[in-house]
Amino acid sequence: MLLFFVDILAKWVVLDGHDRLHAALLEGVTPPLLGLWPFIARSRTESAVREEGALFSAEVQLRAGATPETVERVNRMLLFNFTPDPRGTVSRAWPLPGGRDAWREEVSARRRRERTPLLDDADWKWLL
């Protein structure tokens, strides 16, 4: 199976092997997977001003109240500002003319053509 990670969904999308995946799930077997995860590597030079600002911001936020969420946010900020070679993922998407309604109609029309069951409201809620 070939999978692709989509950042904005924070989910893996099956690009190839839908039938093999379905068969493996029906059999209770873990299928072989190959995941594609696009990333960007940006080199960043050290900056005393940026690092000093990050430390000041961390101190202010933690003195205001060190909740677990605050500590997590401060940790992410400090890692971002003090990591010399940050890497990140990037996924690209383009808007569909007609938006969500057009896409939903396109999916439903294809399922009707292929004589597969139409999606109910719970399925659409999960997809959207």
Sign of CA dihedral 108, 110, 112, 118: negative
pTM for this prediction: 0.38
Rounded percentage of the chain residues whose pLDDT exceeds 70: 88
Give the pLDDT score at 14. 92
pLDDT digits (tens, 9 = 90+) for 48-70: 888 899 999 999 989 888 888 88
Q: Write down the domain spans for the chain.
A: 1-37, 48-89, 98-128
User: CA 63, CA 99: separation in Å to the nearest integer?
Assistant: 45
DSSP 6-46: ETTTTEEEEEE-HHHHHHHHHHT-PPP-EEE--EEE-----
User: CA 107, CA 119: separation in Å to the nearest integer?
Assistant: 9
Question: Is the pLDDT score of 109 beyond 90?
Answer: yes
Residue 112: pLDDT band with limits 50, 70, 90: very high
pLDDT digits (tens, 9 = 90+) for 15-48: 999 999 999 989 999 888 988 877 766 666 778 8
At 30, the amino acid letter reads T
User: CA 46, CA 49: separation in Å to the nearest integer?
Assistant: 9
Give the pLDDT score at 91. 65
